[in-house]
Copies of this chain bind each other. A is one copy, B any other.
Amino acid sequence: MTTNNQPTPRTQVKRLPERGAYDHETIYSILDQAFLCHVGFVADGQPFVIPTGYGRAEDTLYIHGSTASRMLRSLEKSIPVCVTVTLLDGLVLARSAFHHSMNYRSVVILGSATVVAEREEKLRALRAVSEQIIPGRWDYVRQPSEQELKATIVLALPLAEASAKIRTGPPHDEAEDYALEIWAGVLPLHTVVEEPATDPELRVAVPCPAHVRSYLAPGRR
């Protein structure tokens, strides 16, 4: 299954359609620069939105299952979900209140998530989530025991129905407003990592490894 290069009626960006994109490259590049998603699902008629980590492996998004049991109970039944990933790039400060905006890259994925039951796929999925969050960590740490594997639920969501939405650049004001004496522009935002805080309980003399020190290489957020 592959991501549509054409929008479906449900993923078509309706407002400001020029901001919409549906190609693999755009969608995957946004997904690959983030690791936190917001999962939407319905339980007893009520929508819920839960933040959680994810990993992409080819045309599948894996969601680590250790979140609210309410979500897991719902998702195990393979009900419809929406997974949204948002990278906020800046505040767009226009001359008019009305034309203020944000620069962002977001992906919305619709589909049904299913539980990954097979052991080897589950391990691959967990590695994908771990590598998405911090590359190099998985091979460095103690691997999951069989008991831990059983206590972990991993969900797979095909990247079959997805759309990206992107805004970049300066504000777009009304023509007559450009004469106003009002400063306009963009406040770029990005996520930075501070110095790693070593666990006070670290009882052995272990140097901070390269995959931690080099975290947040340029282009990654």
Closest Cβ neighbor of A183 among chain B residues: B206
Verify B53–A102 contact, CB threshold 8 A: yes
Residue of A51, A95, A177, A202 with most chain B CB atoms under a 10 A cut-off:
A51
Binding site for B on A (CB under 8 A): 10, 13-15, 36, 38-42, 45-51, 53, 66-70, 80-84, 86, 88, 90-91, 93-98, 100, 102, 104, 106, 108, 110, 126, 130, 133-134, 137-138, 140-145, 148, 151-152, 170-171, 173, 177-204, 206-209, 212, 215
- Which residues of B have CB within 8 Å of A203? 178-179
Verify A193–B199 contact, CB threshold 8 A: no
Verify A170–B206 contact, CB threshold 8 A: no
Copies in the complex: 2
Task: Name A190's contact: one of B36, B151, B194, B199 (CB within 8 Å).
Answer: B194
Looking at chain A's contact residues, is the secondary structure mostly helix, strand, loop, or mixed? mixed
- Which residues of B have CB within 8 Å of A94? 141
Give the complex CA separation of A38 and B102 in angstroms.
Answer: 14
- Which residues of B have CB within 8 Å of A192? 189-192
Q: A40-B47, A84-B50, A170-B200 are in contact. Are A96 and B183 (CB under 8 A)?
A: no
Task: Name A137's contact: one of B45, B100, B106, B195 (CB within 8 Å).
Answer: B100
Verify B45–A80 contact, CB threshold 8 A: yes
Closest Cβ neighbor of A180 among chain B residues: B142
Verify B199–A170 contact, CB threshold 8 A: yes
